[in-house]
Amino acid sequence: MADSKSIEDVLLKQKEHDVQMIAERPTYPDLPKFNPSGASKCEYELYHQANKLPIPQNDLYPYHKRWLRNATAIHEAVQRDLLYMSEYLDRPRLEVKYLESGLPAWERNILKWEQFNHNGQQFIINGMCDGLLTDNETGKTVGFEFKTKSTTIAAVGDYKMKDVQDGHRLQAISYSILFFGDPYEDRTDTILFLYESLAKDWWTKGSEARSDLRTFQVEISLVDRMAVLDRFSEVVAMTEKPEHDCTNFFCPFTEEE
């Protein structure tokens, strides 16, 4: 029988672990370091990151901070949902994987770094993902990544959202490199994306309400993994600053130029 006490015990154990982790800082070899969310950054920013050069901070207004705070807080709520899903659904297709420690395989519990020697360049990829799940139909491990949209419900509608965002796909490739075994092996890894709009349709819409959720399944191949490793190795190999020609709104260097 499903048991909410055991789930809440796991979440409490998770909280204790998070508090312990505050004081613990992993140590890395002195090599250029990249992370999954950086896979879509422009070469100019990656060059700065790889060479530990200062990167300007975007100015945040208080409402930006509240925006980020809400988007972060909901991650914990979704983790709880995942545990309840695994326990309460009748034969769920997906289930949360657990580590030997008894903690779920997600976030900082699976934070890891891996050292690569690719195209003659040495670097580290460091990261964690929102979850590793078991697909009960295939027995395979699949990645899970949760993303929020904070503007309007249309942001997750069919018209505005045709597929996983490019940057998120690159992030998924980094997960495939880090969490699914040898990245040079010829295999396909699956990462699931769940997008939730924090804005909802009118309360009174009921069954007519527009969906605030979208899910996508992304398949990552050996070719995809090599493209990301090639890109990181190219940045490491650069001996001088590249031109900054990106127009990415979120690039911290965009305003400066």
* Interface ranges with Zn ion (CB under 5 A): 42, 44, 246, 251, 253
Q: Exposed/middle/buried for 165, CB within 10 Å: 0-12, 13-18, 19+? A: middle
- Tell me whether residue 46 or residue 110 sits nearer to Zn ion (CB atom): 46
Which structure tokens are listed for 62?
A: 């208080």
Phi, psi of 82 (to 5 degrees): -60, -40
C-beta of 92 vs 252, nearer to Zn ion: 252
What are the helix (H) ranges across the chain?
4-22, 43-50, 62-88, 166-179, 222-237
Determine the Cα–Cα distance for residues 40 and 46; give it in Å rounded to an integer: 9
Distance of closest approach, residue 244 Cβ to Zn ion, in angstroms: 6
Closest by CA position to 83, among listed 99, 71, 95:
95
CB 204, CB 155: distance < 8 Å = no
d(CA 187, CA 140): 12
Q: Which is nearer to Zn ion, 44 or 195 (CB)?
A: 44
* Residue at token pair 């949760």: 146
Cα separation, 184 vs 83, whole angstroms:
32
How many residues are present in the chain? 257
Q: Which is nearer to Zn ion, 208 or 243 (CB)?
A: 243
Q: How far is the CB of 78 from Zn ion (least distance, A)?
A: 30
The single-letter DSSP state of residue 37 is G
Q: Which is nearer to Zn ion, 42 or 192 (CB)?
A: 42
Nearer to Zn ion, 160 or 241 (CB): 241
Burial class (CB in 10 A: 0-12, 13-18, 19+), 210: middle
Pick from 111, 97, 106: nearest CA to 131: 106
Complex with Zn ion: residue 153 or 251, whichever CB lies closer: 251
Shortest spacing between CB 247 and Zn ion, in angstroms = 8
